[in-house]
Structure 1
Amino acid sequence: MNYQRRPSTRNVHTSPDSSRLLKQAQEISSPTDRPARPGRALVTTDHEVIRRWAERRGARPATMPGSAYNGHLGVLRLDFPGYGGAVLQPVDWDEWFADFDARGLSFLYQEQWADGSLSNFNRLEGVDRVVG
């Protein structure tokens, strides 16, 4: 199967610096939690929050082909429709979340940019970087 992504139609916004965002991130622990303000950096480990955020943007769980090791997924990604870049291999949510949990990751993300437009910004971070 060819896992090539579509030609680039990248968001015009640039990705924020995650180190700065981690210090200011609001923790979201359930799908009912809401950001304090638009553009606020958010962080969660809640599977339903992550899944809903991704699905609202048409993103699907994925990995980099050839990055698997010891029977586990390698590089975890979300594959957004219409974005160019790396070749990604789709995986199911259960497998993606199993590796997410096993690595002790957190999902750093934004719902909206400060101007209110939808943001696709996301990054996986080790929990120690988020809480430390």
Structure 2
Amino acid sequence: MSSSQAKTHSSEAQQTTDHDVIRKWAEERGGNPATVKATEENGHAGILRIDFDPPDKGLDRISWDEFFEKFDEAGIAFLHQDRTNDGELSRFHKFVRA
């Protein structure tokens, strides 16, 4: 399912690989691109995460450029929910195989 097939502001999860959609979703919720510290290798990003305040001590925040380089290299997609069933902004997300 692409993000264009899902309802706008739906409580249903949507899947996308669109960098602009992912960045906008995260930034609207105060999220920052990050990587799991224990999985970084030779200065390269490891497992990707979106880090919300307060910062998670197990994560290193990285640039959006580095985040999307790893995202594309890994061939994954971003599964996310825009709103909860109550209409509130949702932070539900996860990375899945594309």
Question: Please, which of 20, 37, 58 is the counterpart of residue 87 of structure 1?
Answer: 58
Larger radius of gyration: 1
Is 1:119 aligned to residue 90 of structure 2? yes
TM-score where L is the length of structure 1: 0.66
Within 5 A, what are the aligned runs for 1:39-78? 39-69=11-41, 72-78=44-50
In structure 1, C-alpha distance between the alignment counterparts of 2:65 and 2:39, rounded to whole Å: 18
**Paired amino acid for 2:72:** D
In structure 1, C-alpha distance between the alignment counterparts of 2:66 and 2:39, rounded to whole Å: 14
Q: 1:27 is matched with which residue? A: 2
In structure 2, C-alpha distance between the alignment counterparts of 1:111 and 1:37, rounded to whole Å: 5
Find the residue that maps to 2:77 and give its secondary structure: strand
Larger % of strand: which? 2
Gaps of 5+ in 1: 1-25, 128-132
In structure 1, C-alpha distance between the alignment counterparts of 2:78 and 2:17, rounded to whole Å: 6
In structure 2, C-alpha distance between the alignment counterparts of 1:79 and 1:54, rounded to whole Å: 9
TM-score where L is the length of structure 2: 0.87
1:38–1:115 CA contact under 8 A, matched in 2: no
Report the CA distance between 1:38 and its aligned residue: 2.6
CA distance change for structure 1 residues 62 and 37 in 2, over 3 Å: closer, same or farther? closer
Find the residue that maps to 1:78 and give its secondary structure: strand
- In angstroms, what is the RMSD of aligned CA positions? 2.1
In structure 1, C-alpha distance between the alignment counterparts of 2:9 and 2:28, rounded to whole Å: 19
Is 1:108 aligned to residue 83 of structure 2? no
**Paired amino acid for 1:107:** F
Extract structure 1 runs of 4+ deviating beyond 2 A: 33-38, 69-72
Gaps of 5+ in 2: none
